Amino acid sequence: MPSNTTASSAEKPARRRGRRARLVLLALVLALVAGVGCGAYWGVSTVRASFPQTTGTIKLKGLSAPVDVKRDANGIPQLYASTDEDLFRAQGFVHAQDRFWEMDVRRHVTAGRLSEMFGAGQVETDAFLRTLGWHRVAQQEFDEKLSPETKKYLQSYADGVNAYLAGRDNSDISLEYAALGLTNDYKPEKWTPVDSVAWLKAMAWDLRGNMQDEIDRSLMTSRLSEQQIKQLYPAYPYDLHQPVVTAGALDDDAKKWDPKGRPSSDSSDSSGSSGSSSQGGAGLGSGPGAGSGSGSDAGQGAQTQLSGLSDVLDRVPALLGPNGNGIGSNSWVVSGKYTTTDKPLLANDPHLAPQLPSLWAQMGLHCRAVSEKCSFDVSGYTFSGMPGVVIGHNEDIAWGFTNLGADVTDLYLEKISPTGWTSGRGIRPFKVREETIRIAGGGSKKITVRETDHGPLISDRSAELERVGERAPVRTPAPDRGNGFGVALRWTALDPGNTMDAVFKLNRAKDFAGFRAAAKDFDVPSQNLIYADAEGHIGYQAPGRIPVRAEGFDGSMPAPGWNPTSGWKGYIPFDELPYEYDPKRGYIVTANQAVVDAEKYPYLITKDYGYGSRSQRINDIIESKIKDGGKISTDDMRTMQTDNQSEIAKLLTPHLLRIDVSDPHVREAQKLLEGWDYTQEPDSGAAAYFNAVWRHVLKLAFGNKLPKELRIRGECLNVRPADSTGPVDDLNSLVRECGQRDADSAQPDGGDRWYEVVRGLMDDEDSEWWQSPKTRKDVATTTRDQLLARAMKDARWELTAELGKDVNSWSWGRLHQLTLKNQTLGTEGPDVLRWMLNRGPWNLGGGEAAVNATGWNAAGGYDVIWVPSMRMVVNVGDWDKSRWINLTGASGHAYSAHYTDQTDKWAKGELLDWAYSDRAVEAATEDTLALRP
């Protein structure tokens, strides 16, 4: 590569390709796959054209002083600058060098402009995203909410991205653009500060809370009674799984959270949080002018309509993963009195959908001398497309995130007419705007977005959703339904906020007070924030804009928009949100469990927390290590992150071993469980068999009884009609139904909610849930042990087909595989591109709700759909002894040496050295790029 280039030079002439040229180029790509010389030459030259320059000198327009970019053996960059603006300009340039395709796809998602890149097939998705209006809200935040300093940093970052793009053809940016050029003449436009802010909306969408549970509970009403639904959403098991905050209360006089306080017996008001996922008295079920409704017509109407909404949600690209139980994370911090370092140790591993490249980009942002004009010295995990560090540490503090899971969305049924919508004050006019969706290759589509006071009418985006509410289960008094009710979405992220300010404040925080000040601006998404500092303190803060609902409404079911009392009454004040500082127990664990005991906190945070399997396992390991004066090391923290134990296996396996099995082949499989320690290692045959049994238990006991809208698409079963009261073994009473749900979001997914469902049924051996109808091959089951025996048999024959007849050859890793897929083209592109862009599979251990959370959906199969997207262990105070790893590598370029160079180590649970000090960074540096004014 040349040693001296200019990033802002004039652009090369655009290449005009006609149909003939496209066919020729396609032939060359196919030749590459076949190994033909000319195709191989085209492929190598095209790939290399987009590789970033990592040594020598580049002139970067706008810099006030030189910036050095030092990369280690894994290509991880550390940036050194003399001003804040130079630092973020360089960060934008380096992000674009490594990851611009990823950045460009993300901004087209957040702006609802995917059709401009990929054509007419994305129009419906764009229409839904335009209706949500992420980019519009981001623009409002930039214009009205963010501080002048934050705006300056965002502009510097955008300038750096644009300096990289200037003068480059598509094929000079990435292989994906060269491939995209086969179908259209798309050219990336300049980056804007709002493109960076809008990314926070996508993150908030994927971490939005219980919206899918709200839909699912509504859909269940077509087949299940209120009591049955309640059994499938059991109360949080506080007696088994402790919450994040185990002490503390609101000071009734000061109205502030006291982290060391003890709540009085009457500290919870009538609308307080239950922390459970029970259906409760929510939404349509209570409150003036609303009711739960009944009757098969109403139930079937709601089923069809909400299924349409669920289908639309499945089509929205989930940049972090499908919304549901899988989205989570682990983080914990241990005080120095219990560590071998005598300073705190902090661990974090966010659980997200696997992507290639990883969602995270490791980076250090260093001022050569920290001063007023250059105030950052921070290192950690960044989002390409956004300035700053999201998770990591500076010279004083370290922090980590997990998803709090606060319920920040509500669906509202709206009585609509051509002139407006019905509120408690009569007919109100819609807020209306027009949107134009441009389509690659020419053409466009115009849509009209209508909003009520509760939010945008998402029902306008689907012909099926236009009928939402035609027969919605509501009682009088309610407005005449006419042609049906619309569905509006109320969501905290659709109100402008200050989260981007919080990122920079967090990066520069010096102590717990500064940390909390940053958290106060962290509006969305609501996260659990853990903390440690070099002085030895540890802490926790629950931030975010969390709505306060009126009595009788808990967000678990759609609410009546015409009811004047159904709206939000404000947000939980920041000073009244839970936090802890140096708790007596000496450690803090957050893993998506309940934040605080419902009886000790007067506000509702959510009805749909995770159920605490991972968090309690971490708590138990910590307690076992520190008892009798034990200490925890950095390597102990790493080992904990890869803990594979299954809580449901510990509960079920003793029962499975007591079942008398007569079939010798099933008995062979059953014997695998004898002496098993419930750990799910990749080479474990017992783990493979148990998880197959668990999958079939769920299917027989619950899955076959759920409505088709929740079951996996294309899986057809003979099931009892929704209104059937006939005997369970009457084959003539069964009907053929095919599932309709995407595999990643189908139910029962097997997460720890289902652990609690089954735990609550184990002592009721004759529960109706244990009943399953007879088939051509099997007799009906009426008891727990009969169903377990049938599941053991079904699992044996499924694994015989999947892994072979010899049970000694079975292994969990052969079933439980991870394939990394490139965004868009790696999932939707032609086979040749998937072959070029995707990597894998890897055989993994771990599993759903294990600390090593390599999640899978039991309804959909065994493939890995959730992963620890990164892992870090921060050695607080002695920063250079910290360790980290990314799911993939630093580069987004398909044939770079750093595309997936961290994945093998990640799969084995290994971590890399994390250099922070100038001396350590210099020792680790292999390439240095000088950016010059």
Q: What is the pLDDT of residues 248-265, one digit of tens each?
A: 888 877 888 989 864 333
| 838 pLDDT tier (thresholds 50, 70, 90) | very high
Question: What's residue 762's pLDDT?
Answer: 98
Question: What's residue 391's pLDDT?
Answer: 98
Answer with the residue of higher pLDDT: 428 or 213. Answer: 428
Lowest-pLDDT choice from 35-44, 619-628, 641-650: 35-44
Please compute the mean of the pLDDT values over residues 389-404 and round it to a whole number.
97
Residue 251 — φ and ψ, nearest 5°?
Answer: -75, 115
Answer with the residue of higher pLDDT: 269 or 430. Answer: 430
The answer to pTM > 0.75 is yes
Amino acid at 729: D
Whether the pLDDT of residue 548 is over 70: the answer is: yes
Mean pLDDT (the chain, rounded): 86
Question: What's residue 306's pLDDT?
Answer: 57
Q: Per residue in 456-473, pLDDT tens?
A: 998 888 644 443 344 344
Whether the pLDDT of residue 285 is over 50: the answer is: no
Question: What's residue 264's pLDDT?
Answer: 34
Q: Per residue in 889-926, pLDDT tens?
A: 999 999 999 999 999 999 999 999 999 999 999 999 99
3-state SS assignment for residue 211: helix
Question: What's residue 300's pLDDT?
Answer: 44
| 602 pLDDT tier (thresholds 50, 70, 90) | very high
Whether the pLDDT of residue 476 is over 50: the answer is: no
| 91 pLDDT tier (thresholds 50, 70, 90) | very high
| 342 pLDDT tier (thresholds 50, 70, 90) | very high
Question: What's residue 557's pLDDT?
Answer: 83
Q: Which residues face 250 on adjacent strands?
A: 257
Question: What's residue 897's pLDDT?
Answer: 96
Answer with the residue of higher pLDDT: 273 or 375. Answer: 375
Inter-residue contact 396 to 411 (CB < 8 Å): no
Whether the pLDDT of residue 307 is over 70: the answer is: no
d(CA 345, CA 265): 35
Inter-residue contact 400 to 244 (CB < 8 Å): no
Please compute the mean of the pLDDT values over residues 323-341 and round it to a whole number.
84
Question: What's residue 803's pLDDT?
Answer: 98
| 190 pLDDT tier (thresholds 50, 70, 90) | very high
Looking up tokens 């407006």, which residue turns up? Answer: 420
Whether the pLDDT of residue 567 is over 70: the answer is: yes
Lowest-pLDDT choice from 288-297, 522-531, 618-627, 673-682: 288-297
Question: What's residue 479's pLDDT?
Answer: 58
**SS3 per residue for 381-421:** EEECCCCCCCEEEECCEEEEEEECCCCCEEEEEEEEECCEE
Whether the pLDDT of residue 318 is over 70: the answer is: no
Question: What's residue 736's pLDDT?
Answer: 86
d(CA 380, CA 363): 6
Looking up tokens 């159904």, which residue turns up? Answer: 566
Question: What's residue 882's pLDDT?
Answer: 98
Whether the pLDDT of residue 656 is over 60: the answer is: yes
| 205 pLDDT tier (thresholds 50, 70, 90) | confident
Residue ranges of the alpha helices (H) in 762-910? 784-803, 812-815, 825-828, 831-837, 903-908
Question: What's residue 483's pLDDT?
Answer: 53
CA torsion angle 168 174 180 182 (round to 10): 80
Question: What's residue 722's pLDDT?
Answer: 60
Whether the pLDDT of residue 543 is over 60: the answer is: yes
Inter-residue contact 213 to 748 (CB < 8 Å): no
Please compute the mean of the pLDDT values over residues 596-601 and round it to a whole number.
90
Question: What's residue 209's pLDDT?
Answer: 66
Question: What's residue 293's pLDDT?
Answer: 33
Question: What's residue 724's pLDDT?
Answer: 55
Question: What's residue 2's pLDDT?
Answer: 41
540: enclosing H helix or E strand? strand 538-541
| 775 pLDDT tier (thresholds 50, 70, 90) | confident
How far from 238 is each of 213, 277, 552, 571, CA to CA, in Å? Answer: 21, 13, 23, 25
Whether the pLDDT of residue 368 is over 50: the answer is: yes
Q: Per residue in 103-119, pLDDT tens?
A: 999 999 999 999 999 99
Closest CA relative to residue 596, chosen from 617, 618, 581, 580: 580
Amino acid at 907: A
